[in-house]
Structure 1
Amino acid sequence: MVAFNKFFKSVFLAIVYASSSSALTVPTNSKHATHRVRSIANGAKIETFHPVSTYETFGAGIDHPLRKRGASLEESTVSFINAHLGVETSFQSGFAHDVASHGYAHQLINNVIVSNAVANVAFNTDDLVVAVGSSFVKPTTVAPSTPSVSFDNAKATAESALDGTYLSEIPSTVEYFAKDDGSVALVHVLQIRNEAAGTWYNAFVDAHSNTLVSVTDYVAQASYLVLPIHKETILDGFETLVDPEDLKASPLGWHSDGTTNTTDTSGNNALTYKTSTTNTTPESGTGLVFSYPQSATTAPTTTANVNAARVNNFYIVNSVHDITYRYGFTETAFNFQNTNFNLGGKGADRVTSSIQDSAGTNNADFATPPDGQSGHMRMYLFTVTTPNRDGALENDVPTHENTHGVTNRMTGGGTGACLQTLEAGGMGEGWSDAFADWNEKNSSAVPDFILGAYLENNVAGIRTHPYSTSATTNPLTYANLATLNEVHNIGEVWANILHNVYAALVAQYGWSAEARTNPDGTEGNVVHLHLFIDALALQPCNPTFLSARTAWIQADANRYGGANKCLLWKVFASKGLGVNAAGHKNNADIPADC
């Protein structure tokens, strides 16, 4: 999500129903890494909990018990976690790419998985362990493992509390859920969605008390624009692009899944529509020609402008798919495709995009359910200007939104549930801004990046500061988190840090104009995106700034043998994330060998 309000108040209560809310600002930052207040329905708020994560990295790697036995990724993951952490686990998912293999697991208690107690292990190409993250718990009490509340009663509770409908096509489960008082509750787990309201939750209902314990919110909101992906707004000019698909990422192009061929804004990676999924934009000429000129002087709801917006969004979603695919967001890494071409992962989950969605204005959002369920984007109209402006026509908006899908899928093994704490959710916003920033660079220059200026007709954009290498222009550091309690504001800190990492890498290695389609280069923007994507799979569920920083350092060790270790540490330390940073207090220390 890219918020458009500069100020945000949150009610710091577990669940409160009220006809009017008197919001209390969160007084401290102590719960950034474990809690988040979520708005649900009927004026209610719920405070969700995720056990604190531990994270270790091992540079060149350490051995594990099954290394010399040729064990599978599943066997190696479970064996190492059991030996290293002394906790029984159940393998969840895993994948391998060119420099590392990643396994994800849940804690087991009484042979029942603990939903929010997860671990991840990474192995390098020598089959040595290079990272392990864990949010495992040592409970004070554990509920009986047999439900005393029926599923039907739990479903009624969830539907009422969340003002939605149970998705019956997604089977419910019975799991444990670790609570912040040290206890472990038995819960019915079920997905509740209200498509009209744009809500989509995984609900956890206590299987003994029939109360809503927690939710995973699959929706992250934001806003951007579209044209050639390196351009930001329609003011930069439309271009006719011939065959822009990358056939290494989309082997049958953008209009075929191997079974069905299309001639509209639908295909294997994306479906873009207005109001109804059948209300797409058809080709304007034979041979998949989509030429719909846009008029900035007429309302965005005119037929011509709707078609232009749908075509532009379809292009952006597919382009983001192809770029991130090249850098590791593939079928086995839980990406979004209808057909996975027998390359692993779960299919039937292309991104669906609703253009000029009637549910809201002045924003956009993206829902990321688990692998095998479609990601869903909603683009809104912006009402600040006359005529209104369309969020689908500022590229940084749909790019930002799609990036939520990438980061939510790649963190935690495809569950869509591992960027749920306040701090992790904030970094989710930051990664989305940072990827939009990366895409809109067209030379080795690293100018300040301003988000959303066109949509709100404001040269300052929708953030509190431009992203900048100047500490005067953007003074944000890690210590600012001590006073920030809203995900977009927290995200600004992370995005600005990554902007500075990008600048340092480009200054060191130069810039490649082919980076979007060629990940084999040595230039700084190529290196940056490799580390960006690699670190997502390495970091623990619900990472903090500190563990995400450490994942970047380990990603460099895995892919580049630590060649950029000192460069990365110097940039992180310059923004307060030095070796001894902790508790949202700045530290500028770098390793002794730097």
Structure 2
Amino acid sequence: YEFSGKSNISSILESVIDFLGSFPENDNINISSAVSYTATLDNKNNSFDFTANKVINTFRPNLYKQKRFFDYNDKLIKRNISYINNTNVSDIKDAQKISFKHIFTTLGFTEDEFVVKNSHQTSHNGISHIYMKQVVNGLEVSNGNLNINIDKFGNVMSLGSTFYKPPKIDTFNFHNINQLDKKKFINTWAVKNKPSSFVGLNTDNISQNSSKAHSEFEHVTVKKAVKIISKYLGQDVRFDIDGFANHESNDGYKDTFFNNKGASNLSIEDGVIRYNPKYMHLESGDIVPVWDLLLMQRLHVWNFFVSALNGDIVSITSWTSNASYRVYAFGTSDPSVTVRTLEVNPQNHIASPMGWHEPEDNPLAKTTYGNNALVQKYSADQELDNMYRPFSDNNEFDYRINLEGSPDTYINATLTNLFYIINMMHDLMYQYGFDEKSGNFQNDNYNKGGLDKDPVLAFADEPQNDGSAKFTTFSDGRMPILELSTFDGVPIRDISLDNDIIIHELTHGVSSRLVGGPSVDNCLDNPESMGMGEGWSDFVAIIVRVTQENTRNTEFILGQFSSGRNPRPYPYTTNPGANPATFDFLNDDEFKNEHGKGFVWATILYEMFWDLIKEHGFSEKLAEHDTTKGNVIALQIVIDAMKLHACNPDYIQARNDIITAYKNLPKGKNDCVIWKSFARRGLGTKAEILDTPNASGKTYIESTDVPARCDSSRFN
């Protein structure tokens, strides 16, 4: 459909309404999505933006009264449970069987009234966590959630539920019906039921006169639901009748949804609307059939639930917190020579689907307090919630800064920068495999695995004033702690503005969670592995700064802004004249501490980084995760190898795991590229680590040999 001869918004909207109204109202129309867009007309006379000017407030049913929680550590409750298993749980399937039996017995639900959405077993304590959704008439109840925890002996530890307890109603069996046909249940639900049949539903607004109810209470199709949210947002909508034939998809978590044909299951394409027929549990205790509409726009993602009975919007959730941050952009290092930029909505919607800030109904939503990071100025005499954070009612964190002044005078800018970098690192590492199941740092894991409640707890301007930066990592499920002080000098430098150091510290958290697994502590606590931990952190902090204009001979210095000097023995470069470090340097006293060992390891990795760029090319944006490019491949195989490493690996084991990780990539056929990188810095095939009686306990024998199959003509 095209607009013709329309020159003002009202005329255009009239045409849209007329056009949409021309569709026949039946269940055979093959339209399963729509596009809502903000710029629709651009000609010589007019240019319109259909961006809503009003504030869109989010809301959802409050199920506080309906929520049920059982903590079976309570002796009174335990005495009233008819069975306690005391049976070892060998795997998650055993735990699921126990949970099913408990739900049948205690809550009275049958197996066809819920579905397991996610489950996993924690290795260090054997506790199984099972997450379920309620199912009514073959459709999920969107906010009908149940989680149950089973200990390793098969005992139910706790259970929380917002399941709707229905009266006996018509339970038409959808199990043998194609998922695509389930929408017909929603489309005809109100028509085939008389008002007296709305058992368990809120009938306050339904006329008691059957004939009148049928005439006034027309069912709502998905097209109508899309029109309703379009009007609510103040945006235009266009149905594409050619491309939106019903298309069923399944995402990585086996959730079925419908979207426009050919769209990527996990991408967020501007204007796409995914939809699903579901139920919604209301505050009244009733349920209502709804359309679950996920509207994905470039700068915002909305989740609407529209009643299929009367078109009421019963819930709105924003998956995006519109925000801007004036910061030293990710990939820059020295604030003294870098101009800050205003970064608008920089979050990655896959890594941070609900954005970086708390939900809008949380009083801390307008501060540097979110799902991935809690950032505040350190205060010894304040509780955490009361520590200072910048507040922005419109999420515009844009503050002045004068680096010649005291850090207290620009604390808002400092905290904004720290919050931004932590979140950028979270989203970047997510792309490379540091996700929920791998033990990343999030308050809410969205039922994707791993343990929740562990965002990065970051404190700026710790009082030591000694230039210290610390990152403390616990096992998955406990918050890591990032502590940054200031660096005494003239003027005083605030480390929370030094992106090199922030990224270095955050990478400690990544390596600590990945090496040995997220639930295992102390897998980087011997001298070699601690040194490699420092090396990984330097490596990541440096490579995120590399641009198309740099070469392998460019010299990078880590953390120069804070200290005013190079804290490492040499700059990072592959030029041996500027950085001569090789594997043999580990025998020198200067390199026997963890930072010295780390410098050698990072130098070796940096050599590999540039050789892979030579082999595969360069991507200007690491976050785009183009695994055909050399710099992306380098970071990917370092992360992949961390997952392969045994607890407390040494340099040779780490080298071998990196090569294994490379060979398992589609582009990783020529591992000689990496062998030559390692050999050039002394970690070739004949390199050895010998136990000796000296103070360090190790002697490092370097080698420049490569496998015989590797062509020596490509060595340089």
TM range (shorter): 0.5 to 0.7
Deviation per residue, 1:447-475 (Å, 9 max, x gap): 221112121223xx111100111111111
How much does 1:274 deviate? 1.1
**Cα deviation per residue 1:514-571 (whole Å; 9 max; x = unaligned)?**
321x223411111111111101001111011111101100101222374241000000
How far, CA to CA, are the matches of 2:599 and 2:628 in structure 1?
28
Query: Are 1:230 and 2:331 counterparts?
Result: yes
Mapped contact 1:265–1:280 kept (Cα < 8 A): no
Q: Structure 2: any 5+ residue segments left out of the alignment?
A: 1-89, 95-121, 127-326, 690-699, 711-716
Task: Tell me the secondary structure at the aligned position of residue 493 of structure 1.
Answer: helix
Structure-1 separation of matches of 2:334 and 2:411: 16
* Structure-2 change in CA distance of 1:390 and 1:589 (3 Å): same
Deviations 1:45-102 (A, max 9, x none): xxxxxxxxxxxxxxxxxxxxxxxxxx98999xxxxxxxxxxxxxx95599xxxxxxxx
| Alpha-carbon distance between aligned partners in 1 of 2:402 and 2:521, rounded to the nearest angstrom | 38
Out of 490, 494, 504, the position equivalent to 1:390 is 494
Determine the structure 2 residue equivalent to 1:279. 387
Residues 1:589 and 2:705 aligned together: yes
From 671, 684, 691, the counterpart of 1:578: 684
Q: How does 1:153-552 map to 2 (within 5 A)?
A: 227-234=328-335, 235-256=337-358, 260=362, 262-276=365-379, 277=384, 278-284=386-392, 286-302=393-409, 305-359=410-464, 361-383=466-488, 385-414=489-518, 415-443=520-548, 445-446=550-551, 447-458=554-565, 461-483=566-588, 484-516=591-623, 518-552=624-658
Closer/same/farther in 2, CA of residues 489 and 245 from structure 1, 3 Å limit: same
74 and 324 in structure 1: CA distance in 2 versus 1, 3 angstrom threshold: farther
Report the CA distance between 1:592 and its aligned residue: 1.7
Partner of 2:288: none
**Matches of 1:449 and 1:92 in 2, distance apart?**
41
Provide the TM-score with structure 2 as the length reference: 0.50
State the secondary structure of the residue aligned to 1:454: helix
Partner of 1:152: none
- SS of the aligned residue for 2:610 comes to helix
Based on CA coordinates, which of the two structures has the bigger radius of gyration?
2
The answer (yes or no) to whether the contact 2:583–2:600 under 8 Å persists in 1 is yes
1:283-335 deviations in Å (ceiling 9; x for gaps): 34x32100112111111122xx1111111000000000000001100000000
The size of the alignment, in residue pairs, is 372
Contact 1:444/1:510 (CA < 8 Å) preserved in 2?
Answer: no
Cα distance in 2, alignment partners of residues 259 and 409 from structure 1: 32
Amino acid at match of 2:404: T
Distance of 2:361 and 2:636 partners within structure 1: 32
Q: Aligned partners of 1:92 and 1:568: how far apart in 2?
A: 35
CA contact (8 A) 1:255 1:268 kept: yes
Task: Tell me how far apart the structure 2 counterparts of residues 274 and 476 of structure 1 sit (CA, whole Å).
Answer: 39
Identity score, percent: 37
The CA deviation string for residues 187-207 of structure 1, in whole angstroms up to 9 with x for no partner, is xxxxxxxxxxxxxxxxxxxxx
Q: Is the 8 A contact 1:511 1:523 kept in 2?
A: yes
Q: Check conservation: 1:270, 1:351, Cα contact below 8 A.
A: yes
TM-superposition CA deviations, 1:332-379 (whole Å, max 9, x none): 000000000000000100001110111451120100010000110001
Letter in 2 for 1:413: G
- Asked if the contact 1:512–1:521 (Cα under 8 Å) also holds between the matched residues in 2, the reply is no
Rounded to whole Å, the distance in 2 between the matches of 1:322 and 1:93 is 29
What letter is aligned with 1:485?
Answer: K
- In 1: Cα distance, 2:575 partner to 2:92 partner: 44
CA RMSD of aligned residues (A): 2.3
Is this contact kept in 2: 1:252–1:258, CA < 8 A? no
Where in structure 1 are there 5+ consecutive unaligned residues?
1-70, 76-89, 95-225
Following superposition, which runs of at least 4 residues in structure 1 exceed 6 angstroms of deviation?
71-75
- Which amino acid is 2:564 matched to? N
CA 1:382–1:444 in structure 2 vs 1: closer, same or farther (change >3 Å)?
same
- For residue 272 of structure 1, what is the amino acid of its counterpart? V
After TM superposition, give the deviation of residue 428 of structure 1 in Å. 0.5
Cα distance in 2 for partners of 1:416, 1:375 equals 13
TM-score (structure 1 length as normaliser): 0.60
Deviation for aligned residue 1:257: 6.0
1:280 is displaced (CA, Å) by: 3.6
Per-residue Cα deviation, 1:416-469 (whole angstroms, up to 9, x for no partner): 4211000100010110000001111121623221112121223xx111100111
Which structure has more relative contact order (CA 8 Å, sep 6+)? It is 1
Higher mean alpha-carbon deviation, 327-336 vs 270-279, is at 270-279
Q: Secondary structure at the match of 1:240?
A: strand
- 1:259 deviation in Å? 7.6
